[in-house]
Amino acid sequence: MNGLTEAKLRALAGGRSFERGLGYVDAVSGVEVGDGWIRASIHGTERYEAELALGGPGELAGACDCPYGQEGNFCKHLVALGLNVIAQQVDVPRRRDTARDRARGLDAWLCGLSREELLTLVRDEIAEDRNVRRRLELRAASASGDLAGVRSRVRELLDIGPFARYGHVEYADARAYADQAGQAVSAIRSLTGSGRAADAMVLAREAIELLAGVMESVDDSDGWLGQIGADLADAHHEACIAARPDPQDLAGWLVAHVLGDADSLTDIDPLDYEDVLGERGMTALRKLAVGAWQDNRTGWAEKYLMERLAKAGGDVDTVIAVYADDLAPDGHTHLVIARELDTAGRPAEALEWAERGIRDTEDLATVDTALVDYLSDRHTRADRLSDTVAVRRDHFNARRTLLTYRQLRAAAQAADRWPAERESALALLRADTGRKGTHGGHVLVDVLLDDKDVDAAWQAATETGAHDGQWLTLADQARGTRPADALAVYLRLAGPLTRQTGNTVYERLVGLLLSIRDCHRRLGTPDEFTTYVTALRTAQKRKRNLMRLMDDHGL
Tell me which of 112, 145, 177 is where a domain ends. Answer: 112
Domain end position, chosen among 398, 431, 464: 431
Asked whether residue 22 is domain-assigned, the answer is yes
What does the alpha-carbon distance between residue 148 and residue 141 come to, in Å, rounded to a whole number?
A: 8
Please indicate, yes or no, if residue 163 is contained in any of the structural domains: no
pLDDT band at 262 (very low <50, low <70, confident <90, very high): confident
Type of residue at 503: N
Whether 389 shows a pLDDT value over 90: the answer reads yes
Q: Is the same domain home to 350 and 422?
A: yes
Phi, psi at residue 45, to the nearest 5°? -60, -35
Task: Indicate whether 314 belongs to any domain.
Answer: no
Of residues 437 and 153, more confidence is placed in 153
**544 contacts: CB under 8 Å, gap ≥ 6:** none
Q: What is the pTM of this model?
A: 0.60
Distance CA 406, CA 408 (A): 5
Percent of the chain's residues with pLDDT above 70: 96
Residue 243 has pLDDT above 60, yes or no: yes
- Amino acid (1-letter code) at residue 392: R
What average pLDDT does this structure show over 49-57?
A: 79
The answer to whether residue 278 scores a pLDDT higher than 80 is: yes
- Over residues 304-333, the pLDDT tens digits come to 888 888 888 888 888 898 888 888 999 999
Residue 354 lies in a domain: yes
Alpha helices, DSSP H only, in 465-555?
468-478, 483-497, 503-523, 526-540, 544-552
Average pLDDT of the chain is: 88
Report yes or no on 333 lying in a domain: yes
176 is a domain residue:
no
475 close to 515: Cβ distance less than 8 angstroms: yes
Tell which of 63, 85, 112 closes a domain: 112
pLDDT number for residue 439: 46
Write the CATH number for 385. 1.25.40.10
Query: Does residue 58 lie in a domain region?
Result: yes
The domain in which residue 540 lies consists of: 479-552
Counting the structural domains of the chain, the total is: 3
Do 505 and 427 sit in the same domain of this protein?
A: no
Specify the DSSP element, H or E, that contains 408. helix 402-414
Give the CA distances from residue 367 to residues 108, 358, 393, in Å, rounded to whole numbers and listed in that order. 77, 8, 14
Is 184 a member of any domain?
A: no
pLDDT of residue 357: 94
